[in-house]
Chain A
């Protein structure tokens, strides 16, 4: 048992950190620290910098542009990226559809899509959830009917994150209505510019526009746009969702948040002195830091295990990461709310423009708090995670 990183790993951390210092646009970093939304241009600009460095799709196999890093190196990269902070690569392309395409797609699809994902020539979005199919995803109804060399797609997706920017969508569609729930689904990709695709924004409680409803009305898609085999889409979806194991804990991000809490808590007064000196507040913060330390260690256990024994058999501790990671992220947003207290109130819809300079530094704190309720809902709600632990780990 040894917690120390090797000399090479420490040097790698330095290299990554220095690269972020030299290359992340300062305005992008500032917005992330303050919890502001980035524009499409800001994100794409940064991802292309990352891709040029060869780190855009770091966990892909080398032949498709990956780095060949060890699990520990991936861990270090993510931790540094989150804690710098810099925008994470677009998950829908890089972590979700990319691996499905290089694992189950044909050569033509690999050639066509993978380089464009890596360079964000295409912005991808995810067509999974539907109004009637949330946790019970396999009940989805969006229909793809084969007509000659085309699919005709009808239905509705929802909670489609950043679909307003998207060029492409990967979509779970029912292709065999007579088959049992999970068995009649196919994984189909197509252009968001196709005729019959309508994107309607959903405003969330933080006032932001991250998610959308997407409607398909007789959308014509070439038959060859199916990934893998017909009616095997559910298997690919499970593969896709199982890919995200350690990044989900977001330890680096929560560490960055705690730095931010301390920075603001040293500025804001309570009882005539900085709230950072308030014993009650300090204990809550320390309790959060201890939870985060425990999570970091749990994540390291999973990473070390993968690094040594391969990814074949997931470490049972990995199921802790989503639940605890999301809870801690939410706690940090609560602590930020507590720091600013009554100053949380102003609702500045133009906060991203910084139109109210006096309040600018507090403007995003309440919206972030509201926004982060999502992290225990998406990606398989924490209740679904508990079902998974009960079944897969405890055998209940």
Chain B
């Protein structure tokens, strides 16, 4: 039993923290947000240079063969710095589909572009009424010759504007809520029949609503079994949930730190407000919430390697419940302890709160995952 990082992992953490300290203060972030698609190509290039975009890929595919712990390290650091660049969409999700389901040809075609930073991905999964159910898919992929024709609409596709490749979930047979008949397709973003409406999101990222009208792709577009892709989707989305838990821990660490610093310096009644017991106790409760979330984020990281898909899913769902509860408390109380200044766009704390809030509602909120854990018979 060991929760410490290995020497290599410690160096990785130092290097990613160092990179972000140099290039990602709050003012720099505001500038990056104004670039096309809402993030900085220069920063992305630096992440590529440091090898961060190649971490999880097998050495045979040009990567470093790193595991969940390394992804957790990077995501925590990205959270801490409130990073906008599409690491989750490209490396964790796009890369995840290729790693867990891609053919050799698909890997050869796409992984080098991810690793060198020249290509990014977006996950076109959410539909108007699908909410958190990954199998709830109306978008269709119909066989045409050897290839497929995709029709449907996808919403809030993060990095939808800049992505070179979209990963689209689409139904190849059956009805809207059937658990079989959902496939996963690699679709070039420049394909004919795709229209996008891009917008900034509440947490400062950029997303797009994307419609597919008679979009034709080849036979090689399908990742895994196009008639039965749900297990693959769940696998990759579990990785994404794990990564979001880690990002949230980074965000919470920074929120707590910023808040404690603030109440140590802000004076009222002639003394720093951090000398008041009601505020001290609130901050202590925030600390407890962060530590409990950190523990469950570690649990999710370990669970991401479980062989048993049901156990993996249950453990990661449990982590998302704890992280969801903790992030709500830490996020809300960070604003409360900052007082009026916490309500302003100018202070960075509000932006942490907003990103935390959006994480809760990504790939299943607290209630959704609590129900999943309950339906799976609990943890003990």
Contacts and interface: CB of A to CB of B under 8 A. Distances in A.
Contact of B374 (A279, A292, A295, A386): A279
B275 A396 contact: yes
A274 B177 CA distance: 30
Contacts of A386: 280-281, 284-285
Interface string A369-396: 0000000000000010111011101111
A255 B380 contact: yes
A2 B293 CA distance: 18
Given A286-B379, A323-B288, 20 more contacts: A2-B1, A282-B374, A285-B378, A286-B374, A286-B378, A292-B380, A293-B299, A293-B322, A297-B296, A297-B298, A303-B1, A316-B287, A320-B287, A324-B292, A383-B281, A387-B277, A387-B284, A389-B287, A394-B280, A394-B287
Q: Is the interface of A mostly helix, strand, loop or mixed?
A: helix
B77 interface: no
Interface residues of B, number: 41
A395 B1 contact: no
B318 interface: yes
A34 B69 CA distance: 42
Given A285-B378, A294-B296, A294-B322, A394 B371 contact: no
Contacts of A283: 370-371, 374
B274 interface: yes
Given A258-B380, A394-B284, A294 B371 contact: no
Interface in A242-294: 255, 258-259, 279, 282-283, 285-287, 289-294
Interface string B345-380: 000000000000000000000000011011000111
B290 to A, nearest CB: 9
Given A285-B378, A390-B280, A295 B260 contact: no
A358 interface: no
Contacts of B157: none
Q: Is the interface of B mostly helix, strand, loop or mixed?
A: helix
A317 interface: yes
Contacts of A298: 291-292, 295
Contact of B283 (A2, A286, A297, A396): A396
B2 A2 contact: yes
A308 B2 contact: yes
B269 interface: no
Contacts of B294: 317
Contacts of A383: 281
Interface residues of A, number: 50
Nearest to B287: A389
Nearest to A387: B280
Contacts of B264: 395-396
Contact of B4 (A1, A258, A290, A385): A1
A295 B292 contact: yes
Interface of B: 1-5, 9, 69, 260, 263-264, 274-275, 277, 279-281, 283-285, 287-288, 291-296, 298-299, 301-302, 318, 321-322, 370-371, 373-374, 378-380
Given A286-B378, A293-B379, A1 B299 contact: no
A324 B277 CA distance: 20
B32 to A, nearest CB: 31
A324 to B, nearest CB: 6
Nearest to A298: B295
Contacts of B5: 1
Given A3-B302, A298-B292, A304-B2, A290 B321 contact: yes
Contact of B280 (A4, A295, A396): A396
B294 to A, nearest CB: 8
A163 to B, nearest CB: 32
A301 interface: yes
26 contacts: A1-B302, A4-B1, A5-B1, A72-B1, A279-B374, A282-B374, A286-B370, A287-B321, A289-B373, A290-B373, A292-B380, A293-B379, A294-B322, A297-B298, A305-B3, A307-B1, A308-B2, A316-B287, A317-B295, A383-B281, A386-B280, A389-B287, A390-B281, A394-B260, A395-B260, A396-B263
